């Protein structure tokens, strides 16, 4: 039976992650502003914030995932919280963070589009192409959310691998995370040809097929994380 403590865990973990994300987006937005107004270097179009933020969001989620076992799980269990509640709370917080990390670039990109329509900017912003490859802003947002959550889970996988099995076995979990990255690129970046022997690319056929494949991989990773955290010894 699952206690209600996982809700408190989720709120506490998300609160910490949210604070980190505010610093992250503040720095990222500042860099974007500097690039737009001072370092554009030419009259060519500059991508809007949604495209600009995508890679950085994934890296941020990866780093937060790597911190998960050492920062959150150990602290929770030392406080008497069960491993199950810690896992569920962290999983919910990660999902909430991925959603927040998707909404911020989407909202900022929309504001940029409205701003570009009303005033003259020193450079032309491309705020639309981010939504063309996936078929609209809803699909683009879903893609960013699924990618962000996948990167968090890959980081969490590395974290629990090192935490539970030590640094030597931890390298195997890094290798496993690269398999996750490869499959993710296969789904979302067919042009990269990461899995060269596979000529069939879901995104080239149908966006929702890709989203289904990505969601399935995320569910598998969540299940794997539950198995890995179920009886993990806690290091004091």
Q: What is the pLDDT of residues 11-27, one digit of tens each?
A: 999 999 999 999 999 99
Q: Which of 68, 83, 74 has its CA nearest to residue 173?
A: 68
Q: Is residue 234 part of a domain?
A: no
Question: Dihedral of CA 50/54/56/57: which sign?
Answer: positive
Half-sphere exposure of 230 (CA within 13 A, CB side): 7
Establish if 18 belongs to a structural domain.
Answer: yes
Contact 144, 54 (CB under 8 A): yes
Q: Does 235 map to a domain?
A: no
More confident residue, 139 or 193: 139
Summarize the confidence of residues 133-160 as an average pLDDT.
90
Does the residue 116 lie in any domain?
yes
Q: Please report whether residue 107 resides in a domain.
A: yes
In a domain, 236, yes or no: no
| Domain span including residue 166 | 5-229
Asked if residue 16 belongs to a domain, the reply is yes
Domain-embedded: residue 40:
yes
For residues 199 and 143, the model is more confident at 143
Query: How many distinct structural domains can be found in the chain?
Result: 1
CA 137 to chain centre: 18
pLDDT in tens, 43-86: 567 788 888 899 999 999 999 999 988 888 878 877 888 889 99
CB-based contact 21:97 (threshold 8 Å):
yes
More confident site: 158 or 204: 158
- Calpha distance 26→89 (Å, rounded): 26
pLDDT, residue 186, reads: 85
């Amino acid at each position: 039976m699952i206690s209600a403590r996982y809700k408190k865990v989720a709120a506490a973990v998300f609160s910490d992650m949210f604070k980190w994300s505010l610093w992250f987006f503040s720095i990222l937005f500042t860099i974007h502003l500097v690039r737009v107004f001072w370092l554009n270097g030419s009259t060519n179009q500059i991508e809007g914030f949604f495209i600009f933020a995508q890679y950085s969001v994934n890296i941020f989620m990866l780093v937060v995932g790597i911190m998960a076992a050492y920062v959150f799980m150990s602290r929770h269990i030392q406080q008497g919280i069960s491993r199950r509640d810690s896992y569920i709370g962290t999983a919910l917080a990660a999902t909430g963070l991925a959603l927040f990390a998707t909404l911020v670039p989407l909202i900022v990109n929309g504001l940029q589009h409205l701003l570009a329509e009303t005033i003259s900017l020193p450079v032309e912003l491309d705020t639309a192409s981010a939504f063309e490859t996936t078929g609209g802003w809803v699909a683009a947002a879903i893609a960013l959310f699924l990618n962000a959550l996948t990167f968090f889970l890959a980081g969490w996988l590395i974290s629990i691998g090192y935490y539970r099995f030590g640094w030597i076995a931890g390298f195997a979990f890094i290798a496993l995370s690269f398999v996750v990255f490869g499959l993710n690129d296969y789904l979302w970046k067919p042009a990269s040809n990461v899995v060269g022997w596979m000529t069939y690319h879901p995104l080239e056929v149908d966006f929702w097929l890709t989203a289904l494949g990505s969601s399935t991989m995320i569910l598998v990773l969540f299940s794997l994380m539950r198995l890995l955290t179920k009886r993990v010894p806690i290091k004091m």
